[in-house]
Chains A and B, each alone.
Chain A
Amino acid sequence: MSEFLQQLLNGLSLGAIYALIALGYTMVYGVLRFINFAHSDVFMVGAFIGYYIGQHVPQDTVGGGLIVLLAGMLGCALLGMLIERFAYRPLRGAATLNVLITAIGVSLLLEYSGQVFFGATPRTFPSVFPSTNFAFGDLVISSNQVVVIVVATLLMVALEFIVHRTKIGTAMRAVSLNPKAAQLVGVNNDVVISFTFGLGSALAGAGGILYAMNYPSIDPLMGVMPGLKAFVAAVLGGIGNIPGAALGGLLLGTVETFVNGSQWSTYKDAIAFAILIIILLFRPAGLLGKVSIEKV
């Protein structure tokens, strides 16, 4: 029983990070209908911002940890907005395929300029938050896992608030529903899209730092696998659907952890992807997605 609870906890803390990244994919898909493949590299940049800022703040303090987290989120938000402004905006109105290929290009650009600027060797992430272990019988919870779950939950609640309770959130949903109609009622689409990229990238930045805290060895290609998993999580939950992305992330992280702890651990990715295929066979729009008929 305690093994089951421990695995569940391990799975949730991994899934929470997938969920944070998945939210960025899903938000961008919601407003622009394309997959921003550069998102996983924004996640990597977040971890590296944390690495550089983390050396200049007091180690092992909550204050220092929050500064690092905020700096990573701000830096990534800025990077996300810049990417949108210079890579995607000039292609507004072009075929989706062109934008998709540009996204892959931006992703490779970030990965390989990362190798030039940060170096290709793995770095050790500083311990920014204080870390202790809490034991409840056989169940051991590390404070890092708690931080991941708490921060991820707070950010998701904040996101839910922004999307549903603020003016800009309403505008985001309007653009997502029908960009032309939104423009007609006075929504500035460019501002909304830019904001969406900023918001999604900030979450990826936070995800990058939380990931690096738990797995403190970071390199410029670290975003590739978590990015792919988060993309799967977003599709699993129903791409374009915000609670869906969160649910997909948690589900994928938990399944992966349980498979990993069993004797079939080598098949963990195969099993995770098989689950995706099965769910999509029965619910093509994902767990929480609504089937929409594409108008031609």
Chain B
Amino acid sequence: MKTPALLLALVTLATAAHAADPIKVGEFACLTGKDATFGQSQHKGILLALEEINAAGGVLGRPVEVISEDNQSKSGESATVAKKLLSRDKVVAILGEVTSGRSLEVAPLAQGAKIPMIATGATNAKVTQTGNYVFRVCFIDDFQGVVMAKFANEDLKAKKVATLVSVSSAYSVGLAKVFKETFVAAGGTVVAEQKFNEGDKDFRAQLTAIKASGAEAIFVPGYYQEAALVARQARSLGLTMPLFGGDGWESEQLLKIGGDALNGTFYSTHFTPENKDPAVVEFVKKFKARWGNETPDAYAALGYDALKVLADAIKRVGGTEGPKLRDALAATKDFSGASGVTTLDKNRNASKPATIITVKDGKLSFFKAVAP
């Protein structure tokens, strides 16, 4: 009499264990190294979304597990960690990254493995052009470049602009190209096109050349560490004109490194915690409660949305097989999240408004929002 009961118990246990098999999602991020705040923000956003999803009973009755890998902000590392996620951990989807260059390393691997990838902050147009398994939850540089060119023209009223571009960054080169095309078409001139390499810390030579060119504003489509150092060195060379850039400036480290030199600078980004939209207010409140009163930035919001969009697609399709999940993701429509409403178009890009932020008296403040 005892044996069947035990057997039954074992069977029940086994089914339960099977049902509770976690859905594995891979994340790659620059958790350390020179762009560390990007990765840290994305990671915190994803973890917040993960905890909410699992607290609500997971997806399809199964808990979600996020396996995070660090690429140390180095080129080459992302491909290595993505291969590990795809072949050893057998993840159902990959989330990341904030930078376009490193997202471009992983996109072909995800495409080849037929595993969907959702980039969080990679704005370069080429990222999703890699293939039909690559998505993103942010706007693209074809939009951001136009926004900043119009901004230079209409708000800064600048006719002569200099650019300072990181030639080893896909993001920086792409954004500068769109900016220049739009700005020149609108009647402006790019009087100096100065370049630097990723990891450079000395920009005095380029800035001295820009000073001699008579530019009225400088466009710096780089990442926050570079932007902050450029601002400091520009001010120490007596250049008082406005500096402006893209979403690569978005970091809590920007003001720490740049200090007062950043006054009178502008950048476009995906998100502002000052937004009064109830979904954003709710997200900011939850994020602060989870992460020791830290204010979320754009990449935290985009990381959060990336996992939520994925969970939504898995729920709709009722499974995690690559091709089916891809189709479900491609059908994402009017998904309301922390960074606004996400609708993925036929090129697998989200179209979202851009927010322009300015630095005034050593503090970030909202300047204006530009609808897509």
Query: Which A residues are closer than 8 A to B by beta carbons?
Result: 3, 6-7, 10-11, 14, 115, 119-122, 124, 127, 131, 133, 135, 138, 140, 142, 144, 214-217, 219, 225, 256-263, 265-266, 269
Contact = CB atoms under 8 A, between A and B. Distances in A.
Interface of B: 32-34, 36-37, 40, 72, 167, 193-197, 199, 201-202, 204-206, 208-209, 211-212, 225, 228-229, 232, 235-238, 253, 256-257, 259
A120 B202 contact: no
Contact of B238 (A14, A135, A261): A135
A121 B37 contact: yes
A119 B31 CA distance: 11
Contacts of B202: 10, 14, 214-215, 257, 260
A260 B205 contact: yes
The 8 closest A-B pairs by CB, nearest first: A120-B32, A260-B205, A261-B205, A215-B201, A140-B238, A121-B36, A142-B236, A10-B204
A216 B258 CA distance: 9
Given A124-B257, A217-B229, A265 B33 contact: no
Given A216-B232, A217-B225, A262 B33 contact: no
Contacts of B253: 122, 124
A135 B238 CA distance: 8
Contacts of B208: 3, 6-7, 10, 261
Given A135-B238, A140-B238, A219-B34, A7 B232 contact: no
B225 A122 contact: yes
A266 B208 CA distance: 16
Contact of B236 (A140, A219, A261): A140
Contacts of A122: 34, 36, 225, 253, 257
Given A217-B201, A266-B197, A261 B209 contact: yes
B196 A124 contact: no
B205 A10 contact: yes
A263 B194 CA distance: 7
A258 B209 contact: no
Nearest to B39: A121
Nearest to B199: A225
B32 A257 contact: no
Contact of A7 (B195, B205, B235, B257): B205
Given A215-B229, A261-B209, A121 B237 contact: no
Contacts of B212: 3
A141 to B, nearest CB: 9
Nearest to B201: A215
Contacts of B238: 133, 135, 140
Contacts of A269: 197
A46 to B, nearest CB: 16
Contact of B206 (A124, A138, A217, A260): A260
A262 B208 CA distance: 10
A262 B209 contact: yes
A133 B229 CA distance: 16
Contact of A257 (B193, B205, B228): B205
A121 B33 contact: yes
Contacts of B199: 225
A216 B201 CA distance: 9
5 contacts: A6-B211, A11-B205, A216-B229, A217-B229, A219-B33
B237 A140 contact: yes
A217 B257 contact: yes
A244 B194 CA distance: 32
A208 B72 CA distance: 23
B71 to A, nearest CB: 12
**Which of B40, B197, B201, B202 is the most central at the interface, judged by chain A CB atoms within 10 Å of its CB?**
B202
Nearest to A115: B32
B33 A261 contact: no
A122 B34 CA distance: 6
A137 B212 CA distance: 13
Contacts of B259: 127
Contacts of B201: 215, 217
Given A258-B205, A266-B195, 5 more contacts: A121-B32, A122-B253, A217-B257, A260-B202, A265-B196
Which of A131, A217, A256, A269 gathers the greatest number of chain B CB atoms within 10 Å?
A217
Contacts of A215: 201-202, 229
A217 B167 CA distance: 21
B204 A144 contact: no
Contact of A3 (B193, B209, B257): B209
A133 B32 contact: no
Contacts of A256: 205
B297 to A, nearest CB: 15
